[in-house]
Structure 1
Amino acid sequence: MGPSAVDPDCAFCAIVSGGERASRVYEDDRVLAFMDIHPAAPGDLLVIPKAHVEGLEDVDEDLMAHLFRVVHLLTRGLRRSGLRCEGVNVFLADGEAAEQTVFHLHVHVFPRTWDDAFRLEVRWQERSRAALDDDAERIRAGLERGRHHPGQP
């Protein structure tokens, strides 16, 4: 699904339009950041494009770059806020298999402390150099198939 102004069934679009309340932290003409209503910790932020885009394939390069500039800015603000923040995780889930639950692209900015309960469970794999080289070749081929002009998805 390409970018559109709003999706009437999207909770984040309702926040953008003012139909749902949110504790707004940052806003410009393209991006909105607000406090997560179900935070992992105090200071847990969500950063979204104002236009409705579901995932990474739907957002153009300029908007994505701007979104991450705002994430960078907010990370600085979080670290200087006085809230407990000994580290930061930035997280983006793209698709159901990645556990995306709201299908409006969003970036989580999680403040971390040494004693928090935040965990990502990962089973790290061992891969041979030949398998890694094969994976790299497949991704390069995918880039060629999806070749686009800068600034376009």
Structure 2
Amino acid sequence: MTSKRIPFDEAAYSHRSRTGPCFICRMLAGAPGYRHETVYEDDRHVAFLDKHPTLLGKLLVAPKLHIEDPVGGFTETAYLALQAVVHKVATGLRQVVPTERIYVYSLGSNQGNAHVHWHVAALPPGVPYERQQTNALLWETAGLLDVDEETTAALAEQLRAAISGG
């Protein structure tokens, strides 16, 4: 798969995330322009490919309900159910994409990207230590992977099969 990288317009992204509608809620509603490749879905959760990946196969996992507090917004049972989905998709990602380590983290803010979501990213083997961890994840240092729609669709299909156990 491609390793070509392209720059990321962080200012435009920041503006959209702070002033636009919730992209996860819009995606779930099927709004034009918000489509993502979904790789897992159940009645309460969704996992989909990140449109702005720094690592191949980078996924986002979110509750379908618009929740803004990544801990206090959940009962313990609901939180653990979401983490079970994170584990399920991370396991599938590891089967599809060469992986040295899986990164799992939650970002967002009450000021932008408020809908709780977890990032699941596979660090490929052989990345020099200086380019791992946050350096592999940040748009500013890593740039975006230039992945076309056909490759993204094929990757999503492989992930769906791995996650479903097929």
TM-score range, shorter chain: 0.5 to 0.7
Match of residue 21, structure 1, among 20, 35, 53: 35
State the shift of 1:120 in Å: 2.7
**Alpha-carbon deviation of 1:24?**
0.4
Counterpart of 1:74, as a letter, is V
Equivalent-residue separation in structure 2 for 1:76 and 1:47 (angstroms)? 13
Q: In the aligned structure 2, how far is the partner of 1:55 from the partner of 1:95?
A: 9
TM-score when normalising by structure 1: 0.64
Aligned partner of 1:138 in structure 2 is none
Q: Secondary structure at the match of 1:46?
A: strand
How many residues of Structure 1 are paired with residues of Structure 2 in the alignment? 110
Describe the SS at the equivalent of 1:15. helix
Q: Give the percent of matched residue pairs that are identical in Structure 1 and Structure 2.
A: 35
For the pair 1:119 / 2:142, whether they are aligned, the reply is: no
- Give the aligned partner of residue 70 of structure 1: 85
Q: Structure 1 runs of 4+ off > 4 angstroms?
A: none
Q: Which has the higher contact order (CA 8 A, sep 6+)?
A: 2
Q: How much does 1:101 deviate?
A: 4.3
Q: Distance in 2 between matches of 1:92 and 1:104?
A: 10
TM-score by length of 2: 0.60
- CA–CA distance in 1 between the matches of 2:26 and 2:132? 28
Letter in 2 for 1:106: H
CA distance in structure 2 between the partners assigned to 1:25 and 1:54 by the alignment? 23
Instruction: Give 1:60 deviation, angstroms.
Output: 2.4
Q: Matches of 1:58 and 1:40 in 2, distance apart?
A: 28
User: Which runs of 5 or more residues in structure 1 are unaligned?
Assistant: 1-7, 122-153
Q: CA deviation at 1:65?
A: 0.8
Unaligned runs of 5+ in 2: 1-19, 136-166
Instruction: Give the C-alpha shift of residue 21 in structure 1.
Output: 0.7
Instruction: Give the CA deviation at 1:77.
Output: 0.5
Contact 1:30/1:63, CA 8 A, preserved across alignment: no
Pairing 1:34–2:48 present: yes
Residue by residue, what CA displacement relative to the aligned partner does 1:7-28 show, whole Å, maximum 9, x if unpaired? x921110111221211000000
Tell me if the contact between 2:25 and 2:64 (Cα under 8 Å) persists in the aligned partners. Answer: yes
Matches within 5 A, 1:3-152: 9-19=21-31, 20-56=34-70, 57-81=72-96, 83-93=97-107, 95=109, 101-113=112-124, 114-115=126-127, 117-120=131-134
